[in-house]
Amino acid sequence: MSKQRVLLLGATGETGGSILQGLLEDPNSFDVEVLVRPSAADFPRIKELADRGVKVHSVDIASLPELVKTLVGIDVFISAIDPWSQLAQLNLATAAKEAGVKRFIPCAFTTVAPPGGIMALRDDKERVYEHIRKLYLPYTVIDVAYWYQLSFPALPSGRVDYASVFPRLGVHGDGSMPTMLTDLRDIGPFVALIIKDPRTLNRLVIAYGDVLSENETFRIMEDLSGEKINRVHVSIEEVIASRAGASAALKADPENVGARMLAWGEDYKYSKYVRGDNTPEHAQYLGYLDARELYPEFKPRSFTDFVGELLAGKVQKPYASRAEQIKKFKKD
């Protein structure tokens, strides 16, 4: 098979950074190019990409003609755009269709859940999938479960706080609901396998490393660290009430960034721990292919392996370069 020309949007982000790494590790399969916003073109991190031999296109994604020109000749377009900007992908899909892109990977990269009022963020993504299907644009939706990097509990010693975005101690319901989890670093290698596989064209694919309940993730942390975690028990009723409160607060102040983040967070808890959406069985019901079955030769990191690295001080904190922005979100 000849090399695929792949254009990636989001290479400077968390998901996109993992995808970029995964693609660059397979130089026999991919020629990798990135799309960045014009205002970011001179940033050192973009220059670093160019120094690594990655072709950089600086394009305003609101401009359809500019996008079409950039996308002509691209085999696979991957969007790893931030959660706030999901609907900007409508224009990207239209341009991809016009340019004859052979496969469009919209920004899914989330947990499994049905559309329709369970997760507002998912519903934004589903609007993009609907648009893609109306265009008959070839696509693959790739979901990746919930990152290990956001799933580990804090320890009383503070030993793992260095890698923690939002330190967590909550156990929801009785803590036994299983949920799929993935190491952020494994997203890239999974994507590299999925986009060169004809079986995944016009399909949904779920990629994950482990299926664990909160009781299990907490126990793994305790066993490996030798510390006893002070769990905060949150009942199902409390999850439902917090979600309703967060949703009302957002409705009252839709432009409030902190309120939106809080509402997304509550949707995740409701979907993962109350409804139990994010499981391999529900993925199968919803029509997903399972990347673990498609690529048995690829061994994703286990949560236990991840915790070993975490305790050894070797895990990178997501969004570290955006720490100030996240502090602001928490204050608002």
Ligand X SMILES: NC(=O)c1ccc[n+]([C@@H]2O[C@H](COP(=O)([O-])OP(=O)(O)OC[C@H]3O[C@@H](n4cnc5c(N)ncnc54)[C@H](OP(=O)(O)O)[C@@H]3O)[C@@H](O)[C@H]2O)c1
Show the site string, 205-224: x = touches ligand X by CB under 6 A, - = not. Answer: --------------------
Q: How far is CA 5 from CA 78, 235, 309, in A?
A: 11, 49, 34
Rg of the chain's alpha carbons, rounded to an integer? 20
Minimum CB distance to ligand X smaller for 4 or for 111: 111
As a whole number of Å, the end-to-end CA separation of the chain is 51
Give the single-character DSSP code of 178: -
Binding test (CB under 6 A) with ligand X, winner from 4, 7, 8, 16: 16
Residues 34-63 interacting with ligand X (rule: CB under 6 A): 35-37, 40, 61
Distance between CA atoms of residues 320 and 52, nearest Å: 22
Alpha carbon of residue 249 to chain centroid:
25
Segment contacting ligand X by CB under 6 A, of 64-72, 74-82, 94-102, 201-209: 74-82
Task: Provide CB contacts within 8 A for 274, sequence distance 6+.
Answer: 172, 173, 177, 236, 239, 240
Q: Is 80 in the site for ligand X (CB under 6 A)?
A: yes
Q: Is 168 in the site for ligand X (CB under 6 A)?
A: no
State the number of binding residues for ligand X (CB under 6 A): 26
Counted residue by residue, the chain has a size of: 332
Show the site string, 81-110: x = touches ligand X by CB under 6 A, - = not. Answer: xxx-x---------------------x-xx
Q: Is 10 in the site for ligand X (CB under 6 A)?
A: yes
Task: Supply the minimum distance, in Å, between the C-beta of residue 294 and ligand X.
Answer: 19
Q: Within the chain, where are the H helices?
A: 14-24, 44-51, 64-71, 89-99, 120-135, 184-195, 214-225, 236-252, 257-269, 280-285, 291-294, 303-311, 323-331
Task: Supply the minimum distance, in Å, between the C-beta of residue 2 and ligand X.
Answer: 28
Segment contacting ligand X by CB under 6 A, of 4-12, 67-75, 270-278, 288-296: 4-12
Let me know: does 54 contact 32? Beta carbons within 8 Å: yes
Let me know: does 145 contact 289? Beta carbons within 8 Å: no
Pairing mode of beta strands 170-172, 232-234: parallel
Catalytic residue among 125, 196, 269, 272: 125
Active site residue 228: no
Minimum CB distance to ligand X smaller for 44 or for 198: 44
Query: Which two tokens mark 179?
Result: 């949920």
Q: Is 188 in the site for ligand X (CB under 6 A)?
A: no
Residue nearest to ligand X (CB): 13
Distance between CA atoms of residues 33 and 3, nearest Å: 13
Show the site string, 119-158: x = touches ligand X by CB under 6 A, - = not. Answer: --x----------------------x-xx--x--------
Task: Supply the minimum distance, in Å, between the C-beta of residue 281 and ligand X.
Answer: 19
Residue written as tokens 């979907």? 271
Q: Is 15 in the site for ligand X (CB under 6 A)?
A: yes
Task: Supply the minimum distance, in Å, between the C-beta of residue 38 and ligand X.
Answer: 8
The contact set with ligand X (CB under 6 A) reads 9-16, 35-37, 40, 61, 80-83, 85, 107, 109-110, 121, 144, 146-147, 150
Active site residues: 125
